[in-house]
Amino acid sequence: MEKFITKAMLDQFYKDLSEAVSADVFVIGAGPSGLVCSRELAKNGLKVFVIEQNNYLGGGFWIGGYYMNSITIREPANELFDELGIPYEKVQDGLYISYGPIACSKLIYETAISGVKFLQLTFLDDLIVKDNRVCGVVVNWSPTRALPRAITCVDPIALESKFVVDASGHDAVAVKKLAQRNLVEIKGLYPLNVEVSEENIIKWTGEVYKGLVVCGMAVAETYGLNRMGPTFSAMLLSGKKAAEIILKELKK
């Protein structure tokens, strides 16, 4: 029985990884913005893979501020909660609160059943850029970064796609890969201002370089926008906008 268990896991993993060799979209980061974005894309028939450096999905959506596991959202993000069937309570006009474990697990579930595939414990090592356009990712196992360089050299693998989405939060890993080559400018995060930040993150969500769309907190890092603390409206709506931008581009 043991060998059949192992073979079943190997066969499924190989099947998924083989599919990832040529995808429509790679989303970097399985936080709230990445999950919403990938779900919207998959719902519209695209082959979507999420690259997540950790072994778990959801990012900071599991908890709110200061390790308190209730999360807040502001209008109109509650409409997305209604769509996903996530319960919430009204705090005051325009502000709502939800239990993090329910909200996060429900978003992960709805994303997974939409057809999105996840490559966990995988980090973005680089981007594929051809003719001034991002057209794929270069990835490796996350554990390789913990090994001493002197005793190991594990080459990454390349996976092609039509679009890449940087939803990696404060790390903004894909944007920073281009910034290191002076292909884009990254300004870094500005201080907290909830009203200004959430509005601007949604406003500035978009294509930062041909083939590379940025959403969520990576938008704030890229354009020097304010942070917003433990509220998630902009994360959710930015992810949705990123998907809409890609869908519109692919229809041209």
Q: Name the pTM for this structure.
A: 0.96
pLDDT given at position 151: 72
Residues 6+ apart with CB under 8 A from 58: 30, 31, 32, 35, 104, 105, 107, 108
Q: What is the CATH number of the domain that holds 230?
A: 3.50.50.60
Q: Which domain holds residue 237?
A: 2-250
Position 200 pLDDT exceeds 90: yes
Mind listing the pLDDT tens digit for each residue in 204-238?
Answer: 999 999 999 999 999 999 999 999 988 999 999 99
Q: What is the mean pLDDT of the chain?
A: 96
CA distance linking residue 39 with residue 240, whole number of Å: 9
Mind listing the pLDDT tens digit for each residue in 152-163?
Answer: 778 999 999 999
Domain count, the chain: 1
